[in-house]
Structure 1
């Protein structure tokens, strides 16, 4: 009986600790969100099409600063502010994963894009599309952004572009071209979600093309 009571007390203590950590993380996320929204240049640039801000070459990923938890966000945002593209990208990803406001993490994706992280362009283009799926202007912007990011070998950009080409979203429908684009989605192996999604989409496209072939 004593052991059970101790186990119960330990479970309660752990639950209280987890709640306290979650509340602290939420406060950090809210504070970082507010800092990003307060940066007028970043929020204004977030309204532009990523393809129009994307540099011709990718930035080199030299800084390996971790940004996987809320308590690392301040340091990562400092590096982002100083001009490190991948710190901007990692900050945006972590904010999104922790339930941050899109108004906080989308400008960071766009800043990452502007500084040369192709994945930032891909993520922000996808965010713009989700926010305004019915707009032909946004569809075309997203397609252009995925095209440029795919040209810089961003796997998810190639998967998204393949989907757009397969469905005719923002571009003319072109199934053979979609298959060519999807070949670039597996840069990081078949276990990468960008690749696994591309493989599924590619299989579906090939079935469609096979059905369209004239019978012998």
Structure 2
């Protein structure tokens, strides 16, 4: 009896010594989990190569990781698409942890989150804006995510079609692509960007019509 009581008392004492993680400790644990488990492909790979034909059904990613970021990190690497995407957004909002959002966006992309693919492609553009191979990868990614209905994918794919640097210039197709950017309403930033670009196309085409023919 004495030994059993002593063991019970020890377990109670250990439990009492445990305390909840502070937000800073929780974030640090989440980052360390991602840092030690993210693969080379998740850090450096092209998201266009892993865009999934099967789209994931996301839960409410705006609150999914609120309870504990470190728990979300573990769930992500157990193939929880919502956890990967939600944690990426949480880490992205802090300059000190933003770089660790990138492999998470890539991982969410491979798990079927189109927006994760677009976000990773945007990150690659920022990281290596002078690398033609990387820019081509990003352009291919936006084209694929637009085809899946991702608003930002369509906005940036439309921009690429207007600029004609990473793919042949096609104003007619750009109009059609940009018309898909308002899936979430007029207030969505992706929609506003698309509408602004469409207005610029209108102005450009109007100026071309008004330009006098050479004699």
TM-score normalised by structure 2 residue count:
0.80
Alignment-derived partner of residue 20 in structure 1? none
Question: C-alpha separation between the residues in 1 aligned to 2:208 and 2:65?
Answer: 47
1:46-66 deviation per Cα after TM superposition (whole angstroms, max 9, x unaligned): 3111010111121122x3462
Counterpart among 63, 77, 80 of residue 81 in structure 1:
77
- Partner residue in 1 for 2:51: 54
Residue number in structure 1 paired with 2:4: none
How many Å separate the matches in 1 of 2:147 and 2:73?
28
CA 1:186 to 1:40, structure 2 compared with 1: closer, same or farther past 3 Å? closer
- CA distance 1:157–1:99, change in 2 (3 Å): same
For this pair of structures, how many residues does the alignment match? 190
Could you say which structure has the larger radius of gyration?
2
How far off is 1:115 after superposition?
0.3
CA contact (8 A) 2:35 2:100 kept: yes
Greater helix proportion: 1
Q: Which runs of 4+ in 1 moved over 6 A?
A: none
- Cα distance, 1:204–1:169 mapped onto 2, change above 3 Å: same
Q: 1:128 to 1:158 in 2, by over 3 A?
A: same
Match in the other structure for 1:104: 100
Q: Over aligned residues, Cα RMSD in angstroms?
A: 2.0
Aligned to 1:60, what secondary structure does the other structure show? coil
Residues 177, 35 of structure 1: CA spacing in aligned structure 2 closer, same or farther, 3 A cutoff?
Answer: same
Mapped partners of 1:137, 1:210: distance in 2: 35
Q: C-alpha deviations, 1:66-113, integer Å up to 9, x for none?
A: 2364x5312322321221212211110111113343431100000000
Q: Which residue of 1 aligns with 2:29?
A: 31
Matched, 1:121 2:117: yes
Q: Which residue of 1 aligns with 2:154?
A: 158
Give the Cα separation in 1 of the matches to 2:106 and 2:204. 36
1:141 to 125, 137, 141: 137
Shift of 1:161: 0.8
> For 1:29 and 1:170, how far apart are their aligned partners in 2?
38
Deviation at 1:215, TM superposition (A): 5.5
Per-residue Cα deviation, 1:29-48 (whole angstroms, up to 9, x for no partner):
3332222111142x433311
Q: Report SS of the residue matched to 2:54.
A: coil
Task: State whether residues 33 and 74 of structure 2, in contact with CA within 8 Å, keep that contact through their aligned partners in structure 1.
Answer: no
Cα distance in 2 between the residues matched to 1:170 and 1:215: 28
